Amino acid sequence: MGKVVSAELVTSALALGQMPAGALPEIAIIGRSNVGKSSLINSLLQRRALARISAQPGKTRLMNFYLINEEFHLVDVPGYGYAKFSQTERAATRQRLQDYLLKRGQLRLVLQLVDIRHAPSTDDCIFHTLVRNTGIPVKVVATKADKVVRSRLAQHLSVIGETLRLAPEELLITSSQGKSGIDLLWAHILRTIRLHE
Ligand code: GTP
Ligand code: MG
């Protein structure tokens, strides 16, 4: 696994105008609240608590930009579809995510996280289609693989793959708890970044 030499939180932003300027390539991690976005970032960066994790969903309210190896940004995006937010707040969160996905020129890859135990939600499908239509490469990452017994893995993955109409190589499996799949995902991130250098 390529080394994480440095990783630091450089900006927390709500809207496009507050995001880091410059042309560094960017990788976004999106998904519903509580799916494991912040945990995955900590696992990828081998940091215990760089990104804030909580048993309470909706913890990450701002987009957090992490500068990695002075080379690219990894972005922890607030979860969409969190039921406890007000309608207005949910609509605003979705609108901001949509603006970001459509207008952020340096976006090179979107990692869309889905919980391996559940079929993708309507919101997952909507945002998956939206990203696909932008032409930005997208990988779906099934999280919390440790929560499913080995013999049921294939069944869960096929539900996700069929719902989002994925080709096999578009679906990755991780566990931040068991650290599985993290190296492969990190290798993919580095390949994506280097492709654009
Ligand atoms: P928001 O910031 O609210 O959008 O959530 P998030 O997507 O960042 O999720 P977060 O990383 O905070 O994780 C939510 C909960 O799931 C926490 O209790 C984590 O400990 C747990 N969790 C995350 N990844 C895994 C995993 O791979 N396995 C298991 N068993 N639990 C996990
Ligand atoms: Mg989070």
Q: What is the CATH number of the domain that holds 143?
A: 3.40.50.300
The string over 160-170, giving b where at least 16 C-beta atoms fall within 10 Å of a residue's C-beta and e elsewhere, is bbebbebeeeb
Specify the pLDDT at position 28: 98
Helices (H), 46-152: 87-103, 122-134
Residue 175 counted as domain residue: yes
How far apart (Å, rounded) are the C-alpha atoms in residues 41 and 46?
A: 8
- Ligand 2 centroid to Cα of residue 5, in Å, is 23
Ligand 1 pocket check for 120: Cβ under 6 Å:
no
Specify the pLDDT at position 50: 78
Q: What is the 3-state secondary structure (H, E, C) of 122-156?
A: HHHHHHHHHHHHHCCCEEEEEECHHHCCHHHHHHH
Residue 1 counted as domain residue: no
Indicate which residue's Cα is closest to atom 24 of ligand 1. 36
Specify the pLDDT at position 197: 62
Residues of the chain scoring pLDDT < 50: none
Bridge partners of 30?
A: 112
Specify the pLDDT at position 92: 87
* Number of domains, the chain: 1
Task: Specify whether the CB–CB gap between 114 and 31 falls below 8 A.
Answer: yes
How far apart (Å, rounded) are the C-alpha atoms in residues 64 and 102?
A: 18
Closest ligand by atom to 83 CA: 1
- Whole domain around residue 113: which residue ranges? 7-195
How far apart (Å, rounded) are the C-alpha atoms in residues 144 and 96?
A: 27
Residue 55 counted as domain residue: yes
Specify the pLDDT at position 164: 98
Ligand 1 pocket check for 42: Cβ under 6 Å:
no
Specify the pLDDT at position 98: 95
Specify the pLDDT at position 58: 58
Task: Specify whether the CB–CB gap between 45 and 96 falls below 8 A.
Answer: no
Residue 72 counted as domain residue: yes
